[in-house]
């Protein structure tokens, strides 16, 4: 199975009202902004969507709302991972494949499994679905790193099609790209490293920044994938400062502030996450003034 998820995918935020309920009108505006902005696929219920704080019923409501607004225009990748393999497998069997084109599944967090345990975890998951699966390595959140040799072993499984790499370890990333099978891709999980990663063979990105700035971010990725690194670098540096601002106080507070600036949704989050400080908000607004 070849990887169908290339170029720019947006890890969609989940807009909330002040009372903590889901802002479905804002969510649909966000989907429209990203489709119109040139995004190639949508990722629902990743960490950027504050998935740990949503109930299973709410997650399904969000997925249905995104699918309705998308209306078949872009592939939808559904985030489904966890540190209880049996529970993830159970939920995976229940996924409606008429709504979802693929699965993004993070390496088990907190438990800190050894590499053999990570392989066994994913092997159980692939037996539960025919959908293509994107692995997700983000050691800063999970507490453990998926080594290059482990990724390459998992890449031999037909419906594991890509790795979202957010380790920041370029040597590890290049080792995967150098030795991977045809049909398996590496996607950047770090907005600031997207152009460097594409320059050494990555196939795209699952992005936070593209929520609020899809037009510029998608253009940057397109230039890089076409080998026009001068144009890509210009956009990379145009977005570099605001990318740092978006993550300065954790994700997704920064990008939600930018979405509030664009009139898509208000910057409300569910505890334990809180909105950005007033000083950071002012910096984000000033940066958005130059970009939009």
Would you please indicate which residues are annotated as catalytic (active-site) residues?
136, 164
- Length of the chain in residues, anyone? 292
52 conformational bin, left if phi > 0, alpha if psi -120 to 50, beta if neither: alpha
- Residue 194: CB partners within 8 Å, gap ≥ 6? 188, 202, 205, 207, 220, 221, 224, 236
Do 209 and 243 meet the contact criterion of CB atoms below 8 Å apart? Answer: yes
Joined together, the tokens standing for residue 7 give 């170029």
Joined together, the tokens standing for residue 24 give 């479905």
User: Within a 10 A sphere around the Cβ of 195, how many other Cβ atoms?
Assistant: 24
Choose among 192, 198, 211, 184: nearest CA to 288: 211
């Amino acid at each position: 199975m070849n990887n169908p998820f290339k170029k720019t995918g947006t890890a969609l935020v989940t807009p909330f009202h002040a009372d903590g309920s889901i802002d479905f009108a804002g969510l649909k505006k966000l989907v429209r902004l990203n489709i119109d902005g040139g995004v190639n696929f949508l990722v629902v219920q990743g960490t950027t969507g504050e998935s740990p704080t949503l109930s299973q019923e709410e997650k399904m409501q969000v997925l249905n709302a995104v699918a309705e607004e998308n209306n078949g225009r872009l592939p939808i990748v559904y985030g489904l991972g966890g540190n209880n393999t049996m529970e993830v497998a159970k939920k995976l069997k229940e996924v409606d494949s008429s709504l979802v084109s693929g699965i993004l599944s993070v390496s088990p967090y907190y438990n800190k499994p050894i590499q053999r345990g990570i392989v066994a975890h994913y092997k159980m998951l692939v037996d539960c679905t025919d959908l293509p699966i994107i692995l997700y390595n983000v050691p800063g959140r999970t507490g453990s790193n998926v080594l290059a040799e482990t990724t390459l072993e998992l890449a031999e499984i037909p419906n594991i099609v890509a790795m979202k790499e957010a380790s920041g370890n370029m040597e590890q990333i290049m080792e995967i790209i150098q030795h991977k099978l045809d049909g398996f891709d590496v996607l950047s999980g770090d907005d600031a490293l997207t152009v460097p990663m594409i320059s050494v063979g990555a196939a795209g990105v699952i992005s936070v920044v593209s929520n609020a700035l899809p037009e510029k971010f998608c253009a940057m990725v397109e230039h890089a994938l076409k080998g026009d690194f001068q144009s890509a670098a210009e956009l990379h540096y145009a977005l570099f400062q605001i990318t740092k601002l978006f993550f300065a106080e954790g994700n997704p507070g920064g990008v939600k502030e930018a979405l509030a600036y664009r009139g898509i949704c208000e910057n409300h989050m569910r505890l334990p996450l809180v909105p950005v400080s007033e000083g950071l908000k002012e910096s984000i607004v000033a940066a958005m003034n130059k970009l939009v």
